[in-house]
Amino acid sequence: MKEKQFVFGVDLDGVCADFYKKMREVYSDWKGVPQEALTKEVSYGLPEWGTLPDEYSRVHRFAVTQRELFSSMDPIKGAAQSIRRLGSEGVRIRIITHRLFIRHFHETAVSQTVRWLDHHAIPYWDLCFMRDKDLVDADIYIEDTEANIRCLQDADKEVIAFTNSTNRNMSPPPKLRANDWNEAEEMVRQRYYAFLDSHGMPKPEAPGHVPSQTL
């Protein structure tokens, strides 16, 4: 019988990849305004930057096709290292991202995503491009978009809200919140260890290392 694995569902934009930093750079170019004129405190859809009705999709298309958005973003501090440690301990990393909403550019979005993950040495077993993330199974998720956090919670999924300006003032607040990857990593590890205990499986000898019995 195949041994059950603990699955960590990981969002990319705003959680692992610094989406809003890159979009600020792109939008500055798009509008011809200095980056300093664009606030860092944004909400979903970037209305604080004066985005016109139906303009966001055009800016996003420009970012992906002309500025290689998905392969050029900086990683959020600590994300790659935390995911590598958890993966080395035996956590199954399942990337769940919604990047296929621009028609006819799916190949571009997928190839940029894979290139970015490989370039930053972020391990994963599964790569899922999904809008409805609650349809993808995981033991715990990490997400920054408020609507997705709510949807996962409503589906009785355990989800860590990764703090940024788009979700900082959620009301009611999320059940779980991490302000950085150190906090997120520890939350996942605690639940992973509880999972191992419940299945009579050995714990890693130290964070970032698989148990010697499984080597």
The amino acid at residue 163 is: T
Annotated catalytic residue within 11, 134, 139, 144: 11
Whether 126 sits among the annotated catalytic residues: the reply is no
* CA atoms of 9 and 64, how far apart (whole Å): 24
Whether 180 sits among the annotated catalytic residues: the reply is no
The structure tokens listed for 93 are 């990393």
DSSP letter (8 states) at residue 134: G
E-strand stretches of the chain: 7-10, 92-97, 126-129, 140-143, 159-162, 176-178
CA 45 to chain CA mean position, Å: 17
* CA atoms of 192 and 211, how far apart (whole Å): 13
Write out the catalytic residue numbers. Answer: 11, 13
